């Protein structure tokens, strides 16, 4: 079966255009819900032995502390608190309030973790994360250009690299848009594990795209078809491999999402979204964009 992906490229590109537009609008109006790592503040996780404190009970126990931007997230066996203050005095005041709550409920309270990040450090992490992503993208363009340096017809080798970057930008924007939506409605935060997930998605997605491009490179010298048909045949030859690889990865990540701990859940969610979108772009976006570029050059030269 030979699916006509290139001939139906307008459908796939339109779907992506709608998803990108929605993602950009979400980022403009809602932004990203930055966690303590970037916004600054404190994160504390505590556990009540043989008792699950409710959000209202925790809030009432901390009324006298007057914390700013306090959010309380109960998990299966603990409670996670986030607040803007990052001083040790605020930390001890929160501990004192929670210990009083534990005493009232005739149980004990254990502090599982406490992290504090100042706003200056958060801004520095943002800057370093952005710079890291830029360096990765430039390295990818260089690598693909070198890998395809012997492919000069009908598309120059550097254009394979630029096309791969377009596909990666597609993946990043949509993933950020999804997390903007999740952050606005469900309180999902963007933190340093999320940045690690984005960098992982970049590598995963470009690897998938290179598999398709490499098959195009192999087929071009011996193909009797035009460039469009050669690209379409190359996609069909690699599509099953790409989908199977991504599906097996997503299955493992979904298991982590549902059965893993709360600390790794957001990381797994970012990978699920990114790998799904990255697989879509490597099949339905990167190669069609390459064909559109070739057609535009052909019209310009004719």
Same domain, 103 and 127: no
Q: In the listed set 91, 116, 141, which residue is the last one of a domain according to the structure?
A: 116
Same domain, 127 and 198: yes
- Residue 17's domain is classified under what CATH number? 1.20.1640.10
Quote the CA–CA distance of 150 and 93 in Å, as a whole number.
Answer: 66
Considering the domain boundaries, does residue 3 fall inside one? Answer: no
Considering the domain boundaries, does residue 1 fall inside one? Answer: no
Same domain, 106 and 159: no
Quote the CA–CA distance of 33 and 182 in Å, as a whole number.
Answer: 9
User: pLDDT tens digit string along 247-266?
Assistant: 999 999 999 888 876 668 88
Task: Reply yes or no on whether the pLDDT at 121 is more than 60.
Answer: no
Considering the domain boundaries, does residue 132 fall inside one? Answer: yes
How confident is the model at residue 261, as a pLDDT?
66
Same domain, 192 and 62: no
Quote the CA–CA distance of 16 and 4 in Å, as a whole number.
Answer: 18
Same domain, 73 and 222: no
Rounded to a whole number of angstroms, the distance between the first and last alpha carbons of the chain is 34
What is the domain count for the chain? 2
Pair 166, 238: CB distance under 8 Å = no
CA 21 to chain centre: 17
Considering the domain boundaries, does residue 138 fall inside one? Answer: yes
Q: In the listed set 100, 116, 132, which residue is the last one of a domain according to the structure?
A: 116
Same domain, 83 and 104: yes
What is the pTM (predicted TM-score) of this model?
0.81
User: pLDDT tens digit string along 173-202?
Assistant: 999 999 999 999 988 888 878 888 888 888
* The residue count for the chain: 302
Same domain, 15 and 54: no
Range of the domain at 94: 41-116
How confident is the model at residue 124, as a pLDDT?
72
What number is the average pLDDT over the span 94-117? 89
Task: Reply yes or no on whether the pLDDT at 299 is more than 90.
Answer: no
Considering the domain boundaries, does residue 2 fall inside one? Answer: no
Q: Dihedral of CA 138/141/146/149: which sign?
A: negative
Q: In the listed set 101, 116, 131, which residue is the last one of a domain according to the structure?
A: 116
Same domain, 69 and 170: no
Q: In sequence order, which ranges of 73-118 are alpha helices (DSSP H)?
A: 88-104
Same domain, 84 and 157: no
pLDDT range class, residue 122, cuts 50, 70, 90: low
How confident is the model at residue 155, as a pLDDT?
76
How confident is the model at residue 273, as a pLDDT?
94
Considering the domain boundaries, does residue 250 fall inside one? Answer: yes
- Residue 72's domain is classified under what CATH number? 3.30.70.3400
Considering the domain boundaries, does residue 49 fall inside one? Answer: yes
Higher pLDDT, 26 or 148: 26
Same domain, 261 and 133: yes
* DSSP secondary structure of 155-178: S-HHHHHHHHHHHHHHHHHHHHHH
Same domain, 109 and 248: no
Considering the domain boundaries, does residue 4 fall inside one? Answer: no
Same domain, 252 and 276: yes
């Amino acid at each position: 079966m030979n699916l006509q992906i290139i001939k139906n490229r307008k459908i796939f590109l339109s779907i992506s255009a709608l998803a990108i537009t929605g993602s950009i609008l979400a980022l403009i109006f809602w932004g990203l819900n930055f966690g303590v790592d970037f916004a600054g503040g404190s994160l504390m996780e505590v556990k009540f032995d043989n008792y699950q404190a409710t959000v209202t009970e925790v809030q009432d126990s901390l009324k006298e502390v007057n914390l700013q931007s306090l959010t309380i997230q109960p998990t299966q066996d603990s409670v996670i608190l986030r607040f803007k203050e990052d001083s040790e005095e605020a930390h001890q005041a929160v501990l004192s309030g929670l210990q009083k709550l534990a005493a009232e409920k005739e149980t004990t309270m254990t502090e599982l973790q406490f992290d504090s990040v100042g706003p200056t450090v958060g801004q520095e992490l943002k800057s370093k994360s952005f710079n890291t992503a830029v360096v990765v993208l430039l390295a990818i363009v260089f690598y693909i250009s070198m890998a395809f340096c012997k492919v000069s017809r009908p598309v120059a080798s550097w254009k394979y690299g630029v096309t791969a970057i377009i596909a990666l930008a597609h993946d990043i924007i949509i993933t950020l848009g999804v997390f903007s939506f999740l952050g606005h409605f469900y309180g999902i935060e963007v933190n340093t594990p999320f940045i690690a997930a984005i960098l992982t998605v970049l590598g995963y997605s470009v690897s998938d795209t290179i598999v398709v491009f490499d098959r195009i490179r192999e087929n071009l010298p011996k193909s009797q078809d035009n460039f469009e048909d050669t690209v379409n045949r190359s996609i069909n030859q690699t599509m099953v491999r790409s989908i199977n690889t991504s599906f097996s990865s997503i299955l493992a990540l979904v298991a982590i999402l549902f059965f893993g701990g709360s600390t790794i859940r957001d990381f797994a969610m970012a990978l699920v979204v990114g790998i799904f979108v990255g697989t879509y772009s490597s099949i339905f976006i990167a190669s069609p964009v390459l064909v559109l570029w070739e057609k535009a050059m052909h019209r310009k030269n004719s």
